[in-house]
Amino acid sequence: MDVVTLGETMALFTPNQSGLMRYAVSYSRKIGGAESNMAIGLARLGHRAGWISRVGDDELGKAMLHVIRGEGVNVDKVTIDPDSPTGLYFKEFRKAGDIRVQYYRKGSAASRMSKADVDEDYIKQASYLHISGITPALSASCKEMLMEAVNTAKKNDVTVVFDPNLRRSLWSEEEARNTLLDIASEADIILPGIAEGEFLFNTKDPDELGRLFLKQGAKEVVLKAGDQGTYYYNHGLSQFVPAFKVDTVVDPVGAGDGFAAGYLSGLIDGLSAEKAIERGNAVGALVTQAEGDVEGLPEMEDVQQLVNDENNSED
Ligand code: ATP
């Protein structure tokens, strides 16, 4: 296994029309979850990814497992919980550029994950453990589970990659800030967005954020700046890798998960930080071109074509 990730995936209902959610009458059913999005992204690029989670013993949980397994992600460590349902969320396309989400996830099967879901043998066979800041916000037992997974990874020399993925609606500001900083201090690589950095450290300045995240304990900081590109910092190097230009953004949600998949793919293939970020930027840009969190995740051929086209246009 190249990467093991863990977290909640929900059934996603996307309206077939834009406007206020109260007027939406028909939806397309998809799935969405930051960690499984990333795992599907890796599988599409040809890597081996495993996803630890719980789903309800219901049709939506089964549909989700079909999709994620069908995408080539290992789901051996997904438990079916007989007592609680699969979580849901709805998107709302209010107007151009204003996409909102409404969650129905409280008490979901995944929110009942606990330390018992952490399997040392499963994690230690991977090179990377990918985690997000959504999991510790789900419940006290999920937070314990995440810390247990991190400790297990560290004990076995598995690199811990942390995407803060701040979800303000899930917890109080103070709890979010304290917990995300705690996890950041345990991670080897951290993948925040500028807004998340600002939430944690009260500055938008990329270099300042890079310095503060390194001081917090990360060995590498990969700071995402949306359509601008990505900043990279380690203790000896700082770099900026520009984003790929896209004509129109169809749906920006999931770009960060795609970026994580592309960046990890680069690391697995032994690329330099700059080239791994370039691959992450390419995947992030391609994800914005399709509706849905996973629909736009590219195969390696598409990524290479975008990278080559860009490099040729610079010649
Ligand atoms: P998410 O909405 O998935 O949580 P995020 O805030 O974590 O996203 P972003 O910074 O929006 O992450 O996007 C991640 C990466 O995807 C960026 O660093 C960039 O490379 C690429 N990307 C995102 N939006 C665009 C865009 N409009 N044009 C080109 N590239 C983009």
In the reported structure, the alpha carbon of residue 282 is separated from the centroid of ligand 1 by a whole-number distance in angstroms of 10
Instruction: Compute the distance between CA of residue 296 and CA of residue 102 in angstroms, rounded to an integer.
Output: 22
What ipTM was reported for this prediction?
Answer: 0.96
| Residue 312 confidence (pLDDT) | 81
Q: Which atom of ligand 1 is nearest to the CA of 254?
A: 3
**3-state helix/strand/coil string of the chain:** CCEEEECCCEEEEEECCCCCHHHCCCEEEEEECHHHHHHHHHHHCCCCEEEEEEEECCHHHHHHHHHHHHCCCECCCEEEECCCCCCEEEEEEEECCEEEEEEECCCCCHHHCCHHHCCHHHHHCCCEEEEECCHHHHCHHHHHHHHHHHHHHHHCCCEEEEECCCCHHHCCHHHHHHHHHHHHHHCCEECCEHHHHHHHHCCCCHHHHHHHHHHHCCCEEEEECHHHEEEEEECCCEEEEECCCCCCCCCCCCHHHHHHHHHHHHHHCCCCHHHHHHHHHHHHHHHCCCCCCCCCCCCHHHHHHHHHHHHHHHC
Which residue has a Cα nearest atom 2 of ligand 1?
Answer: 253
Q: Which residues line ligand 1 (CB under 6 A)?
A: 193, 224-227, 229-230, 243-244, 246, 249, 252-257, 259, 281, 284-285, 288
Of the candidates 216, 233, 215, which has an alpha carbon nearest to the alpha carbon of residue 224? 233
Domain borders along the chain are 3-9+34-87+113-314
Q: How far does residue 127's CA lie from ligand 1's centre (Å)? A: 25
309 vs 149: CA distance, rounded Å: 40
CB 217 within 8 A of CB 252: no
Q: Please, how many CA atoms are within 13 Å of residue 176, restricted to the half-sphere of its CB?
A: 19
- The alpha carbon of 193 and the centre of ligand 1 are apart by a number of angstroms equal to 8
Give the mutation target among 36, 166, 167, 288 for probing the ligand 1 site: most ligand atoms within 8 A of CB.
288
Query: CA angle 208-129-218, nearest 5°?
Result: 20
On whether the pTM is more than 0.90, the answer is: yes
- pLDDT, tens digit only, all 315 positions of the chain: 999 999 999 999 999 999 999 999 999 999 999 999 999 999 999 999 999 999 999 999 999 999 999 999 999 999 999 999 999 999 999 988 788 989 999 999 999 999 999 999 999 999 999 999 999 999 999 999 999 999 999 999 999 999 999 999 889 999 999 999 999 999 999 999 999 999 999 999 999 999 999 999 999 999 999 999 999 999 999 999 999 999 888 878 889 999 999 999 999 999 999 999 999 999 999 999 988 788 899 999 999 999 998 878 766
Q: What is the pLDDT of residue 315?
A: 61
* Residue nearest ligand 1's atom 20 by CA: 281
Cα-to-centroid distance, 230 and ligand 1 (Å): 9
- Structural Rg of the chain based on CA atoms: 18
pLDDT at position 18: 92
Name which residue sits closest to atom 14 of ligand 1, judged by CA.
256
- Whether 205 is a known active-site residue: answer no
Q: Which of these is catalytic: 81, 117, 163, 257?
A: 257
Torsion of CA 248, 253, 256, 260, to 10 degrees: -100
Q: What is the pLDDT of residues 132-173, one digit of tens each?
A: 999 999 999 999 999 999 999 999 999 999 999 999 988 999
Q: Which of 162, 180, 281 is the pocket-test mutation for ligand 1 (most atoms within 8 Å of CB)?
A: 281
Q: Which atom of ligand 1 is nearest to the CA of 285?
A: 30
Tell me the CA–centroid distance for residue 61 and ligand 1, in Å. Answer: 28
Backbone phi, then psi, for 180, in 5-degree steps? Answer: -65, -35
Nearest-CA residue for atom 16 of ligand 1: 284
| CATH class of the domain at 3-9+34-87+113-314 | alpha beta
Residue 253 alpha carbon, nearest atom of ligand 1: 2
- Please tell me the predicted confidence (pLDDT) of residue 51: 98
